[in-house]
Amino acid sequence: MTQANNDHFFKDNVLGHPAGLFVLFFTEMWERFSYYGMRALLVLFLTSSLLDGGWAWSREEALGLYGTYTMLVYFTPVFGGYLADKFLGYRWAVVLGAFIMTLGHGAMTFDTPTSLYIGIACLIAGNGLFKPNMTSIISEMYNDRPEKKDGAYTIYYMGVNAGAFLGILLCGYIGETYGFHWGFGLAGIFMFLGMLQFWFAQNIYGHIGLSQKKIKNTTEIEKNKIVDNIPAKIQEQRYIVVGILAFFTVFFWAAFEQAGGSMTIFAKDYTNRVLEGAAADIFRIINTLITIVPLGIITYVLFLLFNVTFKNYKLSNFILGFSFVIIWGIVLWKIYNEFSHTKADIPASWFGILNSFYIIAFAPLFSKIWESKYNPPASVKFAIGLILLGLGFGVLAYGSLAIPSGAQTASVSVIWLILAYLLHTLGELTLSPVGLSYLSKLVPATKIGLMFGLWYCAIGVGNKVAGSMGGMIDKISSEYSLSTFFLIFTLVPILAGLTLIVLSKKIKSMMHGVH
């Protein structure tokens, strides 16, 4: 696609980016709402007692399933990317994937092992079609604007975490308060609404994301078809850089994904979550602010999008607006319920929203940094992310020093999880969204869907390692201490980050001008 043809995406813009980016922003937001809403509840549901509505699995069994699920969720994008590249096109793959995931969430509303496994299988398959092809659409949109890609992916990542924030907050609250399967069901509703919103606005992308068959039948696109003219020696070295970054990505996610496993168990069993008196009032006020303010910011972005797209995409805008009416209703109802009690009983899943809250707060700042003269090389960004992640676990290691070896419960301060999530989030912002951006710059356009799928495989390996390592929490804490368990996740990412700094000069030269 030539610069002239690409420019029309930037004529009607929102916050300096094409309106189409924000259609993807909200589509991805609802998909992440469903994914993280379900993820926040899965381990809690499996490990809770039968009297509390759970299945009373051991921590090792629950984290084993969690690790396998999150691994496969990131493996299937290889096949989804291939199918989209060769047959479906990115847009059809997104819609089909969203529909299959909707069926998966629906299955999980039934309280049987069969429905659970059917639901998880649908979520894995649907995600494989959905996830790589959303990012592929962005890559194609910004093909002639590489200098804006880091910022675009960071904004998109803000949408990812807006969905995670709302999903964990609302599905977690409803699931822990009224029944886990109600939380699973709520996740499915918004996945379905997100699918409809995207479907009725897809013409905003013109020919981007169509199948190869349709593209070949379109004379205009044939004239402007992207041709990869990168010399084979140069491209080979760029592939090696992708491999190096993917390798260190495994280390990052193996530690980071403790958020849905061992860190959730730490919140549930080892953290003082019952507040009274002034402490309860302070928490309720702070919790209200960190709920209302981000939701208000996201709603403001929604209105900016409406101003640009409502005339041509009324039905999509109506569905999106209706979704937000439901969200605001649930949020206000939740806040009313919380203020009607004298004690504040913090749900274990609540701490998961901190990651998303921090991303919503800091993503615009990082987006500006990546577009400024202070933008560091890819390997340095990855190194900083790994070191910050390790420091976050260092906070947890220090906070759990007083917990005796083998203890199944404790009551440490919530401050340690709050600080840990802050450091983890700052690390994530320097690694995850820019990883997607660099991948789109380093690989040929004709291979982008498949390569995004392979990238997610690396994340999947990290997720499986996270589940396996998290499942050792009881063994390590009984033989040594809980502090020792978290110390492992402190040292490994920091050492990996320092290694990347040593390699950064060589990696930069192998990128051959990609910034």
pLDDT at residue 342, rounded to an integer:
84
Alpha-carbon dihedral 371, 156, 422, 251, rounded to 10 degrees:
-90
Domain boundaries, the chain: 14-222+232-510
Interaxial angle between packed helices 415-442 and 232-256, expressed in degrees from 0 to 180 and rounded to the nearest 10: 160
Rounded to the nearest 10 degrees, the angle between the axes of helix 59-75 and helix 113-141 is 40
pTM here is 0.80
Least reliable range by pLDDT among 51-65, 190-204, 232-246, 364-378: 364-378
Neighbours of 240 (CB within 10 A): 14
Helix axes 415-442, 113-141, angle to 10 degrees: 50
**CA-based torsion, 105, 107, 113, 114: positive or negative:** negative
What average pLDDT does this structure show over 159-170? Answer: 88
Tell me the pLDDT tens digit for each residue of 246-259.
999 999 999 999 98
HEC letters along 390-426: HHHHHHHHHHCCCCCCCCCCCCECCHHHHHHHHHHHH
- Residue 72's closest CA among 465, 461, 448, 449? 461
What pLDDT, on a 0 to 100 scale, did the predictor assign at position 232?
81
Helix, strand, or coil (residue 13): strand
* pLDDT for 12: 66
Helix (H, G, I), strand (E, B) or coil at 136: helix
Closest CA to 115 of 37, 171, 45: 45
User: Mind listing the pLDDT tens digit for each residue in 446-466?
Assistant: 777 778 778 888 899 999 999
Please tell me the predicted confidence (pLDDT) of residue 99. 96
Alpha-carbon distances of 132 from 28, 45, 85, rounded to whole Å: 11, 29, 10
Q: How much of the chain, in percent, has pLDDT values that exceed 90?
A: 45
390 and 493 Cβ atoms separated by less than 8 Å:
yes
Mapped onto helix, strand or coil, the DSSP state of residue 179 is coil
- The helix/strand/coil state of 18 is strand
Q: What contacts 171, CB < 8 A, 6 or more positions away?
A: 33, 36, 37, 38, 40, 41, 183, 184, 186, 187
Distance of alpha carbon 472 from the chain centroid: 25
Q: What share of the chain is helix, strand, coil (3-state, %, to 5)?
A: 80, 0, 20
DSSP conformational letter for 87: I
Rounded CA-CA distance 442/195 in Å is: 30
Instruction: Tell me what pLDDT residue 361 has.
Output: 82
CATH 1.10.287.130 assigned to 14-222+232-510: no
Going from the C-alpha of 38 to that of each of 44, 101, 116, the distances in angstroms are 10, 11, 11
pLDDT tens digits, residue range 95-148?
A: 999 999 999 999 999 989 999 999 999 999 999 999 888 888 888 888 777 777
Kindly state the tokens that stand for 476: 């390590």
> Best-predicted range by mean pLDDT among 80-89, 159-168, 212-221, 482-491?
482-491
For the cut 70, the answer to whether the pLDDT of residue 228 exceeds it is no
What's the confidence (pLDDT) of residue 51? 81
Q: Confidence class of residue 9 from pLDDT cuts 50, 70 and 90?
A: low
- Taking residues 295-313, report their average pLDDT: 90
Maximal C-alpha separation, the chain: 71
Strand, helix or coil for residue 16: coil
